[in-house]
Amino acid sequence: MTDVTLTEHPALVRLRAQFGDAVLETHAHRGDHTAVVAPERYHDVMRFLHDDPECDYDFLTDLTAWDRLRMELAPRFEVVVHLYSTSRNDRLRIKTRPTDDEAPAVDSIVDIYRAANWPEREVWDMFGIRFHGHPNLKRILMYEEFVGHPLRKDYPVNKRQPLVEERPIPDDRPSTLFYT
């Protein structure tokens, strides 16, 4: 178990030694360790964390993203990956920020973590972030006819895209309830 009182997590030290300026930020709070890495080196970082025997992050807990629109943060999108090492009982969070706000894209890590397949499809579906090298990058939750990406902050909250034509519902329709 990693000593949570350490100011610097050993994996973060190794990451910075290996990748230098590509590690943009690190953050630690009560044993919760995060590194923000440059999108160009994101795939290399994940490969290193998976293969390096002292890191040995062999388990992908989660892969998701969030939209930072109107938060005065740039770039707009951030992909968040949670890793776990079963051999060392240790967790690490890696973030990367695709630079292009109009057509955000990062490398897929399906070749490193096969569990990333469906989460990357979900991130594409919900946020419209492409993953280069993904074997089957298509919508996973919404239907193919759906236009847009619903978890983007600029997707209208009341927008509906029904697949079947909806019946007109008059506001003054009589109640179907009756009592005998």
State the residues that interact with another protein by CB under 8 A.
Answer: 141-143, 150, 155, 157, 159-164, 166-167, 169, 176-180
CA–CA dist 36, 164 (Å, integer): 43
* Closer Cβ to another protein, 67 or 107, answer by number: 67
* Closer Cβ to another protein, 5 or 158, answer by number: 158
116: three-class secondary structure by DSSP: helix
**Which DSSP helix (H) or strand (E) runs through 92?**
strand 90-96
* Closer Cβ to another protein, 74 or 163, answer by number: 163
State in angstroms the smallest separation of the CB of 121 from another protein.
Answer: 15
Burial profile 115-148: b = 16 or more Cβ within 10 angstroms, e = fewer: ebbebbbbbbbbbbbbbeebeebeebeeeeeeee
State in angstroms the smallest separation of the CB of 176 from another protein.
Answer: 6
State in angstroms the smallest separation of the CB of 20 from another protein.
Answer: 42
Which of 53, 148, 40 is CA-nearest to residue 100? 40
State in angstroms the smallest separation of the CB of 39 from another protein.
Answer: 28
* Closer Cβ to another protein, 133 or 148, answer by number: 148
